[in-house]
Amino acid sequence: MADRVSRCPPARTLFLAILVFMIQNFFLVWTVAFNFVPLGEYTREHTDVLIAMNMIGIFLGLFVGELKYWLLYFI
């Protein structure tokens, strides 16, 4: 997976990684401090959503790059 990420534009990759990291940190704080934030009762104890976001991100990371490199793993 790391070899395919290295083929992506570095600025866009870094920006997207930092953006996802910030969104996940915001959601984690929102989930933990549900009593002190507006509409926090809807995210109360929903760390499963954060874990699902991580799993989907890893799954999508498998498909970054060209298809011919993906097919090399099956041959």
Q: For residue range 31-42, what is the model confidence (pLDDT) as tens digits?
A: 888 778 787 777
**Mean pLDDT computed over every residue of the chain:** 76
Distances (CA, A) of 5 to 8, 21, 73: 5, 17, 16
Structural domain that includes position 21: 2-72
Question: What total of structural domains would you count in the chain?
Answer: 1
pLDDT over 70 percentage in the chain: 73
**Average pLDDT of the segment spanning 46-75:** 72
* Residue whose token pair is 């600025």: 11
State the pTM of this model. Answer: 0.64
pLDDT band at 19 (very low <50, low <70, confident <90, very high): very high
Q: Does the pLDDT of residue 52 top 70, yes or no?
A: yes
